[in-house]
Amino acid sequence: MKRFSYLAIFVILLVFLSAPVAFGQALDGKWFQLKVGFKGYAFGTGGLDKISGSATNYMLFTWDNINSVYNYSIYQSDGIAIPQDLADASFSTDLLEYEETAINVRMAFGRDDTNYINTNLTALIKIKRDSQSALKSATFTSLGCQVYDGEMDGNTAFGGCTIKGKTIQFPPFL
């Protein structure tokens, strides 16, 4: 009976130790396809003009093990990187304990070189796992998104935005 108890404890420890412990790193190297929608105003020739637009952007998360944060890079649909403010291009997360987390970050999105928006964004990231606790999929949804600066068709733009995304294997430009 004693031998069985030791064997049971060993098997439980083996299962526990073989499961992915670093849930916080679940999104490392993962790509998201983001649908970005914008509604707001732009300073046109006759004053303020209502404008709207949309774009598809791609975001790559990489885990910084030293600082325990995710860094992110955002790309236009043609593969051109959208410059991010380096001071804001990362966020910490409690994904170690939870399957969802909310982040508050500044992000820049764009359609091309002359149409872009800079945002203050609060977003919800939800993770789904398979039976072995490996990442199955994840979603990215804006909870609030303010465009504090941008340019649309040569005019300064501001307003609000919505962003929805999901994990993909690779973006089309790779």
pLDDT tens-digit series, residues 107-160:
999 988 789 999 999 999 999 988 888 889 999 999 999 999 999 888 999 999
Residues 6+ apart with CB under 8 A from 14: none
Q: Where are the domains of the chain?
A: 20-168
In angstroms, the CA 169 to CA 174 distance is 10
Q: For residues 15 and 85, which has the higher predicted lDDT (pLDDT)?
A: 85
Q: What are phi and psi of 25, to 5 degrees?
A: -100, 10
pLDDT in tens, 9-26: 444 444 444 444 444 688
The CATH classification of domain 20-168, taken from the options 3.30.1490, 1.10.10, 2.40.128, 1.10.8: 2.40.128
Classified as helix, coil or strand, 27 is coil
pLDDT in tens, 87-106: 677 777 765 556 888 888 88
In angstroms, the CA 26 to CA 63 distance is 9
